[in-house]
Amino acid sequence: MTEVTRRSLLATGAVLLREGGVASPDHDASVLLAHVLGVSRGALVLVDHITDEQADGYLELVHRRAAREPLQHLTGVAYFRHVELAVGPGVFVPRPETELLAGWAVEQAHRVARETRREPVVVDLCTGSGAIAKSIAAEVPGARVHAVELGEDAYAWAERNLSGSGVDLRHGDMGTAFEDLRGSVDVVVCNPPYIPLTAWESVAAEARDHDPDLALYSGQDGLDAMRVLEQRAAFLLGPGGVVGAEHADEQGPDGLGGGAPAVFAATGRWVDVRDHLDLAGRPRYTTARLAR
């Protein structure tokens, strides 16, 4: 192989990724090269020499990414708020949009600590990789954080990511989890599956082909898991406790039947039902406070 340069490799990588339909070809090309070279993206400009072996390894990863294998599967790492997570096949890759929901949960936990002068109790249902639970444990020292995951493979990833964090991780169904915490929880947070079964073809290839179905699909309208969450949150929360849950763009208050907010408002168990926008101005998550 003739001598290759950093610039030529990045250019080739970006072209291949763009042709593959990757949404952020330049970004992904640089992340993959930094991964192969064992440096940060910022340090790429300092790289003068690239071996043939490194170039071959890089192009192999680029072709896999162009085939829409998730970037995080290729690097083995996902970054979420202030924590680093190990991810791979079998677990939902955390998305940047979910950081807003996690931030809401962190703020609520801090509020409880201030107002009650005790350790807040937080439950993360459908924890997946453990992203939200790990963030709360890291950002709210003293919080008693509990998390549950049903998927076998995802649970193994969560176990790895939450090791040493102090989070109480359990393997089970969110609809029946934490019987021992009934009425004692301050904050329930959840990023449930919310894609309608009929929307399969519209899902991005990275998610459709690589994220577990258990983390994606939830009945004909995508809100089956939200309904289970509403019931479980009411069971777990103490008086005045709060719940927050992510949903699809189309499941905001203007969605069919009132969307996710209506799931909570219709039962009469909740007050202060609000929907929140993401940074792009799209409906992203619903919060509510237990009325009793």
From the options 2.60.40, 3.30.70, 1.10.8, 1.10.10, give the CATH code of 6-67.
Answer: 1.10.8
Structure tokens at 3: 């001598």
Every domain of the chain with CATH number 1.10.8 lies at: 6-67
> Alpha-carbon distance 177 to 58, whole Å?
43
3-state helix, strand, coil in the chain (%, to 5): 45, 20, 35
Identify the DSSP state of 279.
T
**Residue 200: what pLDDT?**
65
CB 47: neighbour CB atoms within 10 A? 15
Contact predicate 9/1, CB 8 Å:
no
Contact predicate 133/147, CB 8 Å:
yes
> Alpha-carbon distance 234 to 42, whole Å?
47
The CATH class that applies to domain 80-85+90-290 reads alpha beta
Every domain of the chain with CATH number 3.40.50.150 lies at: 80-85+90-290
**Residue 1: what pLDDT?**
42
**Residue 3: what pLDDT?**
61
Cβ-in-10-Å burial (0-12, 13-18, 19+) of 113 comes to middle
**Residue 93: what pLDDT?**
93
| Spans in the chain with pLDDT lower than 50 | 1
> Alpha-carbon distance 142 to 140, whole Å?
6
Instruction: Calculate the CA 11 to chain-centre distance.
Output: 30
**Residue 36: what pLDDT?**
95
Q: What is the pLDDT of residues 244-278, one digit of tens each?
A: 999 999 898 988 888 999 999 999 999 999 999 99
Contact predicate 148/213, CB 8 Å:
no
